[in-house]
Amino acid sequence: MMPGDTDFQVRIASTWQLVDVAKDESVLEALQRAGVGVPNSCQQGVCGTCLTRVLEGEPEHWDMFLTPEEQEKNDRFLPCCSRSRTPLLVLDL
Amino acid sequence: MNDIASGAPRRVIPIAVDTGTAYGLPAPSYRKDLAEVGPGTPMGELLRRYWHPVGTADDANGTPRKVRVLGEDLILFRDKTGRPGLVYPHCAHRGASLYYGKVEERGIRCCYHGWLFDVEGHCVEQPCEPGGGRAKDKVRQPWYPVEERYGLVWAYMGPADRKPVLPKYECLENLDEGEFIEADDNSIGGGGPKIIPCNWLQHYENLVDPFHVVVLHASFSGTQFVEQMAVMPEVTWDTTALSVRTLSTRKLEGGKTLRRISEAGLPTLRVIPSPRIGRYGRVESLGWILPIDDHSFRIYVVGRVKEKGELSRMRSRLNGKLWEELTEEEHRAFPGDYEAQVSQGAVAHHSEEHLATSDRGIVMLRRLLEKQLEAVKEGRDPAGVSFDPGAPPVFFTAGNFLEE
């Protein structure tokens, strides 16, 4: 749905599970595929329903929900559309 | 002879499994924190940190008047010295309603045993008690502070030590040549009757939704405002200290550009330049959405006008008819704001909505409200309350601006 240029991985902090995110899928889709459901609605970075805390790594924000200042903090991101600048993101899930 | 009897292979028509049916749909739910306005609720407490209009100056008179504000039933009156009062209806003595009371020089007198209360709830007379009530000073009728401005009566229903000054607004303070201030209580902008039977948030969110103007008001139901509004605008939103602002830019025929800035101001303000574009320039009126309770609201409007009655003529008409004069068939065939918003539900089903890119303003407005809820929860003051009587009037940038 919201593909990016590169593959990366996300780690589920509570279970230490590692999930691959392919170029042609969103983090949300990758999580769902791995059996991790995150509440979501618009799937295009508007509504903020899927907002998730980032514990490690640096997300690449593609959303319109967070303000530029909030995006700069890199402590939360929207897995429906945003990607990663680092090979790994650790998510507070 | 059928297929089975003939011994021919039986034809099986594959049954496609339907998807997306309404079967098993979970019961809808809504954002209680944003929608509910009663005492003790998060939004109710936030709204109680601001002044709200509870009637026109004329509504406060010698006849006690029932008003319902933020889920509370109250009695509005004006004592014979001219002071408006807003009190809890049940008399502090035995609970009869002061709606049946009599307004006098010094306040309102209960019909049951004649206890008399002033506009601040002090009990000033107990005619059945020895000596006119030796302990009357111990009794207080619950009351709220009220003030008058712009032809409306305003009430502060929050914690006493957090009462802000009643704000003034630049667009209502600085009048152009020949203008004067007029107030209206007909819920202008609501697209329906005086009292609109749905949650206030539905109307408030509609203020940051410029795209519905193109559909609901400019094509679906014919031209409800003016032709220019049928042009699909380019839209951007931003959040200011006090509002979510919508900038809609329309390229008009002839090469001119219409820049329309409208705002949803904290806590319930409509800062909406006339969609009929009678004149260009800064916003000419402000509206306050008053949540009556969780399931109904009304709108008070104050505007700069040049002729008496100009505001009430701003009310929507279809084929020359006001909303209440239309038939059910006309409502169905030519829906407006009332039909769209009331049909979302007594409170909109937030659990069932699918916000899209055109709803960005709504998300921003909810976030602005959430920030204020957080401030109140943490013991801070929400945005837009001022305790400085000398503070300059509140300024909004809204207006319709025509550019070459």
Give tens-digit pLDDT for B185-223: 999 999 999 999 999 999 999 999 999 988 898 878 777
CA distance B363 to chain A (A): 6
Chain A residues in contact with B355 (beta carbon < 8 A): 41-42, 46-47
Cβ-nearest to B360 among A41, A46, A67: A46
CA distance B354 to chain A (A): 6
Residue contact A65–B363, C-beta within 8 A: yes
Structure tokens at B125: 């007379």
Residue contact B363–A67, C-beta within 8 A: no
Q: B65-69 and B51-56: which strand pairing?
A: unpaired
Q: Which of A59, A53, A51 is nearest to A92 (CA)?
A: A53
- Compute the half-sphere exposure of residue B54: CA atoms within 13 Å on the CB side of its CA: 32
Peptide bond into B275 cis (omega under 30): no
pLDDT tens, B268-277? 999 999 877 6
Cβ-nearest to B356 among A46, A48, A67: A46
Q: Which of A41, A66, A67 to mutate to test the interface with B (most CBs of B within 10 A)?
A: A41
Chain A residues in contact with B367 (beta carbon < 8 A): 48
Cα dihedral B84→B88→B90→B92 (10° resolution): -90
Structure tokens at B322: 């006001």
Mean per-residue pLDDT, B328-356: 95
Residue contact B355–A42, C-beta within 8 A: yes
Residue contact B356–A64, C-beta within 8 A: no
pLDDT value of residue B231 = 85
Going by C-beta distance under 8 Å and a sequence separation of 6 or more, which residues neighbour residue B386? B164, B165, B167
Residue contact A46–B367, C-beta within 8 A: no
pLDDT value of residue B4 = 59
Cβ-nearest to A42 among B239, B354, B367: B354
Interface of A with B (CB under 8 A): 41-42, 44, 46-48, 64-65, 67
| Residue of chain B whose alpha carbon sits nearest to that of A40 | B354
Mean per-residue pLDDT, B241-254: 94
Cα dihedral B139→B143→B148→B150 (10° resolution): -170
Query: What is the three-state SS of chain A?
Result: CCCCCCCEEEEECCCCCEEEECCCCCHHHHHHHCCCCCCCCCCCCCCCCCCEEEEECCEECCCCCCCHHHHHHCCEECCCCCEECCCEEEECC
Residue contact B355–A64, C-beta within 8 A: no
pLDDT value of residue B319 = 80
- B366 backbone dihedrals φ, ψ, rounded to 5°: -60, -40
CB B239 within 8 A of CB B364: yes
pLDDT value of residue B2 = 53
With a cut of 80, say whether residue B225 has pLDDT above it: no
With a cut of 50, say whether residue B1 has pLDDT above it: no
pLDDT tens, B126-165? 999 999 899 999 999 999 999 999 999 999 999 999 999 9
| Res. B278 pLDDT band, cuts 50 70 90 | low
Chain A residues in contact with B360 (beta carbon < 8 A): 46, 64
DSSP for residue A17: -
pLDDT tens, B39-55? 999 999 999 999 999 99
3-state secondary structure of B179: coil
Mean per-residue pLDDT, B98-105: 98
| Residue of chain B whose alpha carbon sits nearest to that of A43 | B356
In terms of DSSP H, where are the helices of chain A? Answer: 27-33, 68-73
Q: What is the DSSP annotation of B356-389?
A: -GGGHHHHHHHHHHHHHHHHHHTTPPPTT----T
With a cut of 50, say whether residue B296 has pLDDT above it: yes
pLDDT value of residue A1 = 43
Per-residue pLDDT of chain A (93 residues; tens, 9 = 90+): 456 778 999 999 999 999 999 999 999 999 999 999 999 988 999 999 999 999 999 999 999 999 999 999 999 999 999 999 999 999 999
Average pLDDT, rounded, for chain B: 94
For the entire predicted model, the pTM comes to 0.91
With a cut of 50, say whether residue B182 has pLDDT above it: yes
Distance, CA of B341 to chain centre: 13
Structure tokens at A81: 């559309």
3-state secondary structure of B264: strand
Q: How far apart are CA A33 and CA A29, in angstroms?
A: 6
| Res. B8 pLDDT band, cuts 50 70 90 | confident
pLDDT value of residue B385 = 97
| Residue of chain A whose alpha carbon sits nearest to that of B357 | A46
pLDDT tens, B308-341? 999 888 787 888 899 999 999 999 999 999 999 9
Residue contact A48–B367, C-beta within 8 A: yes
With a cut of 60, say whether residue B3 has pLDDT above it: no
Residue contact A47–B357, C-beta within 8 A: no
